């Protein structure tokens, strides 16, 4: 009998624990009804989503379905390290679930992408729900916190996966940091905080994760030195815990950050300045100014459509509850910390309008690399969402009725002001700052005042009032977040994705020719990354960075394109003389063939060493230089190769895959086999199974020496940066789990 009662009690306890997450899941799915329950809307109709993110995801999904982990992307710029570029999200485990989802005729399904978008927001909401529960908030209030964090503000209004995915685990960073500070299994919880901080870096983009890392490190330092301001000794225990936490964060992030650092050191990056910058060059402050939150956009916290880039919008209800929650619970130290984090994020996001941003830009390493200060609005959302949960829990209490009454009066005054302004703008036909959604804050303020009055009078129970407050917050947020979803029934809202289906016949034609050739294309007519999308090799594409060795070569001249084996061009008219039209597609785009294109791989028996890239480029530009006869190397002892007599050598490349290349070389004597793919650390070569050096030739492509006879040359991408990084991330996870279990 007792056992049955204990089982029933356990089942009830489990049901209660699952109630909040279940309700939150239902809310998030219903909130995004446009994506889940209709086929009329999508989140993909923006230039970056359609032209950059979707091709990246398609390429990786194709590789996963061929049971290969994508580390190298051969589709553009003669091949680039995919994982080193970071933004494709190759190192982010939740993305792997998307990549393994069933494909349709080889293509990633839109329905899978829509659920990916929705579930990303759900898990972000769940993390903030857990933070609020850990702070002692009720289930209903914690549901509100999850909705505000994940459906509004930065997470709700940021589309790019690489920018928003890292924010999913951000609330957990501070959940476990707070527990460690409170003395609850301090080592285990400090390691968990650090692990989730590092895990966020795996998502791909650095700027938002950098801001979260600064906030976490700043809080650890404050906790360690706060007593020093009163003349006491620093709290060395807290400082040691903080050091352990940040060390685990560094290790946990290594799967992404070590390859990213390697690539950053060897590449240049377009940041919005006049020219690309190197890793050791500072991103100009004018770029930060361009991507900062404008001061007027602070009103965008509760007025729709003030800000369209780094949207801080959470609505009148959530913002008001957050302010009141902070005031009513100010004595709780975690409340003060959350308020400080939220305010700091908001001030930092103002960029040049905040002197504090300039201080960090000047003095703190890597901050100048995070060129979008507006992304710090994530910290504002992180602070305001749990504080709103405090407000929901504390305002219905009788001892806080005076505050509730004052807040109600303020809300009604606010509603009157906004209503009058909306009417004035309507009559004057002013649409400079806002649109007809300006009346939403006024209506919401009136409804919020009604909820507060209902709590005070007893006309609304606490539970009913909480449900009304959540519904009101969703009503407000829905007037902003759901506006980033594009209606397929409105042609003007669908200018991007359909273009990805227009050029399949061009790709089918060149594939039918059965040769390893690159293409160039008119980026005005084909604005998306056609190489990643269709799995073909292109000269260039739309990306943020490229290895420096390639950028120092002659990429764009006719001779440069010939050298890199650009045999075909996709355009409406021939991009340069000497090309002949061979095919016309349904879209009106044509295929032009370049008979002068060199083969992708060949052999040479002469070599020359030159001082640097400029000298190599000058030599290659010479009218009499023939790359099929002489290989150029930079500051190297030229390898011993021989001059052969007889006919041409037969060099074939039967396999050219992202992480693996096979070349069959019939050499008449010792020479060097050239492959016009990007030279980059991590590529390893063998000749007939024996290790061989890969030379950096002509300034940026690969060469391998082979003796006379028939040989099989294989190149595999096995970068130590990825291997070491993955081992460090795995070690961080194991250490965190083991310490957690031992402290249980």
Q: What percent of the chain has pLDDT over 90?
A: 82
Provide the pLDDT for residue 12: 60
Written in H, E and C, the secondary structure of 41-70 is EECCCCHHHHHHHHHHHHHHHHHHHCCCCC
What digits encode the pLDDT tens for the residues 580-607?
999 999 999 999 999 999 999 999 999 9
Instruction: Report whether 677 contacts 79 (CB < 8 A).
Output: yes
Provide the pLDDT for residue 2: 47
Residue with tokens 């979803």, as numbered in its chain: 485
126: left (phi over 0), alpha (psi -120 to 50) or beta: alpha
Q: How far apart are CA 450 and CA 666, in angstroms?
A: 85
Q: State yes or no: pLDDT of 490 exceeds 90.
A: no
Residues in the chain: 744
Instruction: Report whether 543 contacts 162 (CB < 8 A).
Output: no
Provide the pLDDT for residue 655: 95
Q: In this structure, what is the dihedral angle of CA atoms 514, 519, 521, 523, given to the nearest 10 degrees? A: 120
| Single pTM value for the model | 0.93
Burial track 651-676 (b if 16+ CB lie within 10 A, e otherwise): bebeebebbebebbbebbbbbbbbbb
Provide the pLDDT for residue 241: 96
Mean pLDDT of 711-733: 97
Q: How far apart are CA 576 and CA 718, in angstroms?
A: 39
- The helix (H) or strand (E) run that includes residue 555 is none
| pLDDT tier for residue 9 given thresholds of 50, 70 and 90 | low
Q: Which of 173-177, 432-436, 639-643 has the lowest mean pLDDT?
A: 432-436
Q: How far apart are CA 190 and CA 179, in angstroms?
A: 8
| pLDDT tier for residue 504 given thresholds of 50, 70 and 90 | very high
Mean pLDDT of 18-27: 93
Q: State yes or no: pLDDT of 60 exceeds 90.
A: yes
Backbone angles phi, psi at 468, to 5 degrees: -65, -40
Smallest Cα–Cα separation from 599: which of 515, 514, 708, 508? 515
Mean pLDDT of 271-295: 90
Q: State yes or no: pLDDT of 375 exceeds 50.
A: yes
Cβ neighbours of 324 (radius 10 Å)? 23
Mean pLDDT of 166-180: 97
Residue with tokens 């791989």, as numbered in its chain: 601
DSSP strand pairing (566-571 vs 590-593)? antiparallel
Q: How far apart are CA 383 and CA 385, in angstroms?
A: 6
What digits encode the pLDDT tens for the residues 178-196?
999 999 999 999 999 999 9
Provide the pLDDT for residue 493: 84
Q: State yes or no: pLDDT of 160 exceeds 60.
A: yes
Q: State yes or no: pLDDT of 14 exceeds 90.
A: no
Mean pLDDT of 50-76: 96
Cβ neighbours of 515 (radius 10 Å)? 14
Residue with tokens 């009148």, as numbered in its chain: 316
Mean pLDDT of 602-631: 92
| pLDDT tier for residue 256 given thresholds of 50, 70 and 90 | very high
- The helix (H) or strand (E) run that includes residue 506 is helix 504-512
Provide the pLDDT for residue 431: 57
Higher pLDDT, 229 or 652: 652
| pLDDT tier for residue 11 given thresholds of 50, 70 and 90 | low
What digits encode the pLDDT tens for the residues 303-349?
988 876 678 999 999 999 999 999 999 999 999 999 999 999 999 99
- At 151, list the tokens: 């459906």
Q: How far apart are CA 195 and CA 192, in angstroms?
A: 5
| pLDDT tier for residue 512 given thresholds of 50, 70 and 90 | very high
Provide the pLDDT for residue 132: 97
- At 321, list the tokens: 């509850």
- The helix (H) or strand (E) run that includes residue 610 is strand 606-610
Q: What percent of the chain has pLDDT over 70?
A: 97
Mean pLDDT of 257-284: 92
What digits encode the pLDDT tens for the residues 694-721?
999 999 999 999 999 999 999 999 999 9
What digits encode the pLDDT tens for the residues 385-403?
999 999 999 999 999 999 9
Instruction: Report whether 335 contacts 390 (CB < 8 A).
Output: yes
What average pLDDT does the chain have? 92
Provide the pLDDT for residue 430: 65
Mean pLDDT of 367-379: 93
Cβ neighbours of 2 (radius 10 Å)? 6
Mean pLDDT of 413-425: 87
Mean pLDDT of 561-573: 96
Provide the pLDDT for residue 3: 47
């Amino acid at each position: 009998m007792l056992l049955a009662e204990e089982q029933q009690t356990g089942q009830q306890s489990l049901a209660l624990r699952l109630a909040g997450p279940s309700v939150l899941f239902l809310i998030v799915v219903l909130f995004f009804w446009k994506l889940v329950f209709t086929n009329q809307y999508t989140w993909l109709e923006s230039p970056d989503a359609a032209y950059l993110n979707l091709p990246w995801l398609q390429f990786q999904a194709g590789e996963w379905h061929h049971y290969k982990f994508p580390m190298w992307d051969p589709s553009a710029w003669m091949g680039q390290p995919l994982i080193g570029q970071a933004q494709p999200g190759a190192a982010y485990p939740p993305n792997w679930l998307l990549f393994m989802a069933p494909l349709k005729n080889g293509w990633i399904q839109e329905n899978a992408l829509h659920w990916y978008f929705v579930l990303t927001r759900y898990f972000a909401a769940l993390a903030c729900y857990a933070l609020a529960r850990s702070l002692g908030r009720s289930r209903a209030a914690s549901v509100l916190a999850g909705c505000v964090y994940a459906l509004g503000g930065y997470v709700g209004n940021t589309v790019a996966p690489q920018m928003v995915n890292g924010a999913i685990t951000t609330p957990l960073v501070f959940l476990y940091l707070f527990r460690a500070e409170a003395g609850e299994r301090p080592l285990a919880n400090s390691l968990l905080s650090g692990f989730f901080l590092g895990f966020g870096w795996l998502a791909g983009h650095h700027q938002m994760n950098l801001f979260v890392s600064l906030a976490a490190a700043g809080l650890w330092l404050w906790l360690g030195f706060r007593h020093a301001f009163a003349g006491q000794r620093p709290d060395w225990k807290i400082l040691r815990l903080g050091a352990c936490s940040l060390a685990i964060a560094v290790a946990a992030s290594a799967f992404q950050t070590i390859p990213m650092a390697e690539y950053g050191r060897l590449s240049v990056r377009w940041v919005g300045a006049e020219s690309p910058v190197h890793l050791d060059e500072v991103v100009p402050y004018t770029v930060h100014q361009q991507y900062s939150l404008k001061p007027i956009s602070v009103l965008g916290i509760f007025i729709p459509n003030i800000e369209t880039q780094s949207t801080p919008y959470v609505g009148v209800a959530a913002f008001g509850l957050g302010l009141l929650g902070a005031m009513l619970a100010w004595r709780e130290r975690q409340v003060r910390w959350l308020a400080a984090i939220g305010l700091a994020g908001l001030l930092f996001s103002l960029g040049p309008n905040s002197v504090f941003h300039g201080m960090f830009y000047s003095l703190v390493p890597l901050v100048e690399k995070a060129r979008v200060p507006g992304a710090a609005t994530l910290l504002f959302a992180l602070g305001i969402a749990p504080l709103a949960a405090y407000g929901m829990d504390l305002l219905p209490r009788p001892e806080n009725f005076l505050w509730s009454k004052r807040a109600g009066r303020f809300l009604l005054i606010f509603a009157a002001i906004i209503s009058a302004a909306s009417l004035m703008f309507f009559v004057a036909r002013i649409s400079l700052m806002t649109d007809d959604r300006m009346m939403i804050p006024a209506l919401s303020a009136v409804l919020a005042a009604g909820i507060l009055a209902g709590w005070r009078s007893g006309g609304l129970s606490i539970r009913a009032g909480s449900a009304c407050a959540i519904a009101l917050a969703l009503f407000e947020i829905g007037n902003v977040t759901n506006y980033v979803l594009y209606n397929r029934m409105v042609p003007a809202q669908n200018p991007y994705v359909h273009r990805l289906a227009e050029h399949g016949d061009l790709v089918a034609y060149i594939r039918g020719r059965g040769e390893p050739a690159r293409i160039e294309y008119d980026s005005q007519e084909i604005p998306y990354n056609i190489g990643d999308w269709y799995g073909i090799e292109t000269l260039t594409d739309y990306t943020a960075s490229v290895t420096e060795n390639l950028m120092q070569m002659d990429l764009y001249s006719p001779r440069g394109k010939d050298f890199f084996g650009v045999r075909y061009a996709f355009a409406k008219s021939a991009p340069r003389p000497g090309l002949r039209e061979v095919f016309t597609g349904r879209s009106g785009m044509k295929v032009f063939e370049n008979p002068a294109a060199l083969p992708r791989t060949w052999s040479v028996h002469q070599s020359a060493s030159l001082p640097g890239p400029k000298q190599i480029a000058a030599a290659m530009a010479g009218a009499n230089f023939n790359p099929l006869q002489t290989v150029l190397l930079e500051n190297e002892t030229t390898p011993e190769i021989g001059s052969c007599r007889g006919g041409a050598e037969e060099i074939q490349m039967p396999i050219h895959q992202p992480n693996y290349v096979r070349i069959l070389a019939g050499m008449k004597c010792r020479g060097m086999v050239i492959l016009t793919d990007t030279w980059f650390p991590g590529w390893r070569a063998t000749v007939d199974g024996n290790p061989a050096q890969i030379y950096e030739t002509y300034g940026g492509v690969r060469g391998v020496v082979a003796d006379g006879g028939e040989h099989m040359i294989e190149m595999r991408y096995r970068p130590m940066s990825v291997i070491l990084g993955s081992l460090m991330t795995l070690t961080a996870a194991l250490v965190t789990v083991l310490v957690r279990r031992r402290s249980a």
